[in-house]
Amino acid sequence: MSRRRISPGCWRLYYQAEPDASPRPLSAQPVVGDQGAPRLSPDGKRVAFEITGGGLRICPVAATGDCRSLAVGSGYPVRPAWNPRTDGLVFVHFTFKGGEEQSTIKLTGGDPAAITPLIEQTGIQDFPAVAPDGRRLAYTSWLTVMPYRGRVSVIQQLWTLDLGTGKAKQLLLSNAGDIHPHWSPDGGRIAFSSNRTGRYELWTTDNTGTHLRRITAGPGDKTWPAWSPDGSRILFTHTRKGRSGLSLVRIDTGEIRPYTPFGPDSGIQLKDPDWRAVVD
């Protein structure tokens, strides 16, 4: 699952049943606005995604079937993530208050209309990702540092939340921008994108914030990691010279190769991948 830019300013979701299968548009239903941040359901049969200015949508991966919208009233919901234990969604709800943008991480049960707050924390909370066992959440918390004398800086830190106890803790102590966390299929590691070396590269850490390891190196920013179902590779957005595409990296060797579902010479921009095994 990824999104494809088919014309200037227009992003649409495409789906492949297998890595070598021909990609096809997700849904024939008309949707106004860019589609992005897709997340496949635990059984691989539905996808939740955001529409720029239009909230969240849940659609079947099959060519037929109706889509459902997630309504939150004021503000706008983005960054959906599935909880495999509840079959519900965790998402970010952005609102404006007192002229400032704020965000809260919220969740639904099996009914998308039943929405409850999950995290309210100082700053912006973003990029939620639920562990495969449904018991833990990883997310990015934005911290704005405003020294009396000096330059204002924004730090994006990784946090985790125990969904059973409600206990949150900072995963990594860093002044870098750590974004886009994604749990490995066995729940033992988290892949994320970080600019701690100057550009955004992919890193992994275990679920306690130790054994930090850089996975990629080289030209271009690497963001939005998605593990392969067997945990051996990561599919990610690779941005170079202002254009985005997809690449694959092997965890054991760090070997990177382009991933071009529309052909190596198509010139089509791609981003925001997700990858999940389909459960029959």
What is the rounded CA–CA span in Å between residue 194 and residue 172?
11
Which tokens is 182 given? 């994604």
Q: Which residues contact 130 (CB under 8 A, 6 or more apart)?
A: 81, 82, 83, 84, 90, 136, 137, 163, 183
What is the rounded CA–CA span in Å between residue 20 and residue 146?
49
**Of 215, 218, 219, 210, the residue nearest 235 (C-alpha):** 215
Q: pTM score, two decimals?
A: 0.90
**Of 19, 63, 64, 12, the residue nearest 226 (C-alpha):** 19
**Is 154 a domain residue?**
yes
C-beta separation of 156 from 140 below 8 A = yes
Q: What letter would DSSP give residue 84?
A: T
**Of 15, 70, 20, the residue nearest 270 (C-alpha):** 15
Tell me how many domains the chain contains. Answer: 1
**Is 193 a domain residue?**
yes
The residue written with tokens 């990610």 in the block is 236
Q: What is the CATH number of the domain that holds 183?
A: 2.120.10.30
**Is 278 a domain residue?**
no
Residue 121 domain boundaries: 2-271
C-beta separation of 62 from 104 below 8 A = no
**Is 246 a domain residue?**
yes
Rg (CA), the chain: 18
**Is 277 a domain residue?**
no
| Cβ atoms within 10 Å of 188's Cβ, excluding its own | 15
**Is 276 a domain residue?**
no
| Tens of each residue's pLDDT in the chain, 280 residues | 555 555 456 888 999 988 888 898 886 556 678 899 999 999 988 999 999 878 899 998 876 778 888 878 788 899 999 999 999 999 999 988 767 778 999 999 767 678 898 988 877 899 999 999 999 999 999 877 656 666 666 788 999 999 999 999 999 888 889 999 999 999 999 999 999 999 999 999 998 989 999 999 999 999 999 999 999 999 999 999 889 999 999 999 999 999 999 988 888 999 999 998 776 6
C-beta separation of 37 from 80 below 8 A = yes
Strand order from edge to edge, sheet including 2-7 = 24-25, 10-15, 2-7, 269-271
